[in-house]
Structures are given as C-alpha cells and as structure tokens.
Amino acid sequence: MSHAPFQGVQGRIARFDEPGTPFEIEQVTLADLGPGEILVKVLRANICGSDVHAWHGTFATRGLGGQLPTVLGHEMVGMVHALGDGVDADSNGAPLSVGTRVVFPYFFCCHTCRNCLSGRRNACLNLTMAMLGRADEPPYFVGGYADYFVLPAGAVIYTVPDSVPDEIAAGANCALSQVMYGLERVDQQLGEYVVVQGAGALGLYAVAVAKARGAAKVIAIDGVPERLELATAFGADAVIDITGTTDQDRTRMVRKLTDGQGADVVVEVVGHPSAIDEGLKLLGQFGRYVEIGNINVGRTFEFDPSRFVFSNKTMVGVSLYDPSVLSRALAFLERYQHTLPLDRLAATAYPLDDINAAFAAASDKRDVRASIVP
C-alpha cells in the first residue's frame, strides 16, 4: 500500500552527548521516510532505570553497539504521524492510519537469524534498539526523548486500546512486558508463593502480574514506605521493610509467610548484586529465581552453589522479552486498569524542555517513574 508522499518533518530531540552532562534540546529535520518505516509522534516517554543508568554512565550503551551522541528513552507510547510505503496494519492485523495510538518493542529483530527462527527473538543476532543510533545523522529520532521516533521497517507494533490512556500505556513496552515475560519463562503457576525484591515500577507490575497468574501469596520487599504502600495497592499480600530488618530476619519472615516452604518464585528488580544472595535464600525446594534488575556489567556477588544443588533451584536471566508479549501486556492493562492504581506509576510529567530536571528527580527517586510528555 502506498501513502501520500512524505513531506518531511521538523522536531526536537534531547541530545545525549556523554554521561554526566546535561541533555541539549536540538531542532532537527527528517527529510525522508523509507518503505516500511513508521514515523511515530511521541505522546509520552517514561524515564526507566536503564535510562538513568545510561545518564550516569553505569550502563554503557556503547557496550551494546551504541554510539554517541544519541537520544535516550525507550519506554513510550505514541501516535502514527506518517506511514512508509507498504505499511497498513499492526502486528495483529488491525488497520493503521495517521492518528492511531501505538506501542512497540524498543528493540528490533531481523526475524530471520538462528535465534529469531528458534523463537528467541529477544536474542536476535542482528538486534538493534532505541538509544543506540546516532543523533547527529538521519533519521535523528532514535530515542523516546524527542517529538518523534522513527520505527524501522519490519518492526513489531500494536494498536493501543481506546480505553487505555497514554499514562497507563507508556509502561507496557518495557517494564510490564519484561516482568510478564520473566514470569512466563519460569512458568509461575496457580497457587505458588512469589517474592518480589524491589517495589519500583517493575516490582509493582511483577506483583500485579503474579497475582493475575494466580499466585497464592505475593510478598514485596523494599525500603521506601510509599513503595511498600503501593505494593499493597497492586495486590501484595504482605510487604517487608528492609529498614530495621536483617537478611536473616527477612528469610525467617518469608518462611513463615509461606508455611515454612520458602518461595516458589523470586523476582529480582532491585538492580544491585547484593540482593541476589538474599533472594536465593528466600527460595524453597525447586524454587526459580528470575534475575532482571542487574544490568551493570562487572558487579559481582558471592554465593554458596551447594544451596542450588541440594534444593534443586534454578536461576533464569531475563533480558528484553519476546515481542508478542507486548500484545498480552496491552490486554492486561485493558482488563486491570480499573482495579489497579496504574495511574500512580506515572505520577509526574515533565515537558521535553525540562528533561534535565526530570532526570534529577528520577535519579534521586523522588518519583516512582517520571515521564517526558513532549
């Protein structure tokens, strides 16, 4: 299908030159839109933990093949602004047109390599993603902190249900899909005990999804009172405050809360290696540990591997997700948006021009998750 000729577009990007330096707002012009590409007008882009790490330099995008300067931001919702030739439907076959609200995985698979063909698209051998492209050459709009984002040809894309507002949809393509995929990877079952280490955005989603999957009891662990309160609102049956308790205390508390068995599944979304040794102690026989949070290369921890062997435990590392999970994430939001306080995950919005203030707030955790609304 061909569309009206693309006339070009001007817009702003928040250029990221190097860690520790302020973002620079720059006006750029996109002259061409290639076949199969989609120009998305960004409606809302959250500040995810990995964006903050990249800003501080503790998560090196260059290590993933990225280049500087770039545009950060990947957890977003947008609206179709222009369609390249050959695009007329989303990945579920729903029609796409200018004005359609959409979400999409922020990473892009080739669909033809060995891993893609084996159903492991999140390990695509030719994987590219937002935040890795150069901001000083076309298409410029290579991250979410901008007026627009250029979606490459062949990208997976889904239409956002009309009933799901932007502030709820924005978290679908990273945090929510990630934890959904993690719990699917370890096959969390009806009636199992689940512990979630960390009650930031990913942890809160993990609590809600674990309950939706039929967990008998979900226990959330954090040290911030507001987050513990939010975890309860998202369905946690019990919360444990790390302040004033030792890891031995917490292990005993989890055992008591799980009828002496220990957890069947523990999800780590703290992002610090010190959480892992404790998390492994919280698992019972045949427990499965879902490791999501530790993305900072080179940080280590010590543990006793015999505890793995004698108790038949499993650790599953989870990076990205299968793109089809995003469609289920939207269905989850549509179903649970009126029973979960999802709007509280995007409590603070900042205009693009105030991105440096937004990152300062996100960095010192003043907001559970700040958002950029261009």
Residue 127: partners with Cβ closer than 8 Å, 6 or more residues away? 107, 108, 109, 110
The verdict on 198 and 267 lying in the same domain is yes
Q: Tell me if 2 is assigned to some domain.
A: no
**pTM of structure:** 0.91
Backbone dihedral angles phi then psi of residue 88, each to the nearest 5 degrees: -145, 0
Q: Which domain holds residue 256?
A: 175-317
Q: Are strands 158-159 and 193-197 parallel, antiparallel or unpaired?
A: unpaired
Question: How many structural domains are present in the chain?
Answer: 2
CATH code assigned at 82 = 3.90.180.10
The verdict on 293 and 367 lying in the same domain is no
Backbone dihedral angles phi then psi of residue 181, each to the nearest 5 degrees: -65, -40
The verdict on 199 and 278 lying in the same domain is yes
Q: Tell me if 170 is assigned to some domain.
A: no
The verdict on 113 and 188 lying in the same domain is no
Q: What is the pLDDT of residue 2?
A: 57
Q: Tell me if 332 is assigned to some domain.
A: no
Residues 370/358, Cβ–Cβ less than 8 Å: yes
CA–chain centroid gap for 153, Å, is 22
Q: Mean pLDDT for each consecutive 10-residue tract of the chain (374 residues)? A: 78 94 96 96 91 77 69 96 96 97 96 96 94 93 97 97 94 93 97 96 95 98 95 98 94 97 96 89 97 80 84 94 97 95 82 94 71 92
The verdict on 348 and 282 lying in the same domain is no
Burial (CB count <10 Å: 0-12, 13-18, 19+), residue 261: middle
CATH code assigned at 241 = 3.40.50.720
The verdict on 147 and 184 lying in the same domain is no
Q: What is the pLDDT of residue 59?
A: 60
